[in-house]
């Protein structure tokens, strides 16, 4: 009885964030070892109780299902591969069966992520760019925010973004802001500080510095030389 209580306390300490990070940025070649390491932290392979194993697996299953949805895998496709939550207990009859199921679950999600990142216009990296295009005016927008929005780790997203588009995600964000600033300066009567605010800069001086770096002119010089739209 005491051992059972001890295992219950252990599984409650499962760090699901490590599983989520593994799904977002883990590599196929070592994902089994990484998963085993997380499970060992809660002495998972010593748990003989099906109920307790199910408790742990449900948390991991939900994390994997959520991750899969974020990268465009629909529920039907996910359940075809890994079953539903209701029938999961049938896959966990032994410790070995359970570990094998969890390894396949994690490995499958990582493979989907890799395939998605290699895709074309509908890839997860393209979704990250679309997210920036729709949210560039948020002055607090960061790599972490974009990564969370598309379900990848910041480091993995940064690498894949540069590989696909030839520039850092942060550079693309600045360019998106400057492009919109040019439009507003050219085609509206807004004050420069209003334009800076509208495109995600709260510091007028910093906006002016960045604008000149990318255009060769200060915002005032650009505005004076541009044809203002009627």
CA dist 219 and 74 (Å) reads 46
Q: How is the chain split into domains, by residue range?
A: 2-117, 124-167, 170-225
Fold: same for 124-167 and 170-225: yes
Whose structure tokens read 């002495």?
A: 43
CA dist 162 and 24 (Å) reads 17
Res 205 pLDDT > 80: yes
- pTM for the structure as a whole: 0.56
Looking at domain 124-167, does it have CATH number 1.10.10?
yes
For the domain with range 170-225, which CATH number is right: 3.40.50.300, 1.10.1060.10, 3.40.1160.10, 1.10.10.60? 1.10.10.60
Res 224 pLDDT > 60: yes
Confidence bin at 7 (pLDDT 50/70/90): very low
Which one, of 228, 209, 229, 227, lies nearest residue 219 by Cα?
209
Tens digit of each residue's pLDDT (9 = 90 or more) over 93-121 = 888 999 999 999 999 999 888 777 665 44
Task: Show the tokens assigned to 89.
Answer: 């207990």
Confidence bin at 178 (pLDDT 50/70/90): very high
Confidence bin at 1 (pLDDT 50/70/90): very low
pLDDT of residue 216: 94
Tens digit of each residue's pLDDT (9 = 90 or more) over 115-169 = 776 654 447 788 899 999 999 999 999 998 998 888 777 887 888 888 888 999 9
């Amino acid at each position: 009885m005491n051992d059972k209580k001890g295992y219950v306390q252990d599984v409650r300490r499962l760090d699901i964030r490590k599983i989520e990070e593994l799904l977002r940025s883990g590599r196929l070649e070592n994902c089994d070892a990484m998963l085993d390491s997380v499970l060992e932290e809660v002495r998972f392979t010593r748990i003989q109780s099906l109920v307790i194993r199910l408790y742990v697996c449900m948390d991991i299953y939900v994390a994997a299902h959520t991750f899969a949805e974020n990268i465009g895998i629909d529920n039907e496709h996910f359940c075809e591969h890994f079953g539903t939550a209701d029938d999961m207990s049938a896959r966990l009859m032994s410790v070995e069966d359970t570990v094998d199921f969890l390894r396949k679950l994690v490995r499958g999600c990582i493979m989907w992520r890799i395939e998605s990142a290699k895709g074309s216009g509908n890839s997860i990296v393209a979704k990250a760019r679309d997210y920036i295009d729709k949210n560039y005016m948020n002055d607090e927008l960061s790599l972490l925010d974009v990564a969370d929005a598309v379900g990848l780790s910041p480091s993995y997203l940064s690498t894949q973004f540069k590989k696909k588009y030839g520039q850092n995600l942060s550079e693309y964000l600045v360019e998106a802001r400057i492009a919109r600033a040019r439009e507003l300066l050219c085609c509206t009567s807004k004050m420069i500080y209003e334009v800076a605010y509208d495109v995600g800069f709260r510091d007028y001086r910093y906006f002016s510095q960045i604008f000149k770096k990318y255009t060769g002119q200060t915002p005032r010089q650009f505005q004076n030389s541009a044809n203002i739209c009627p």
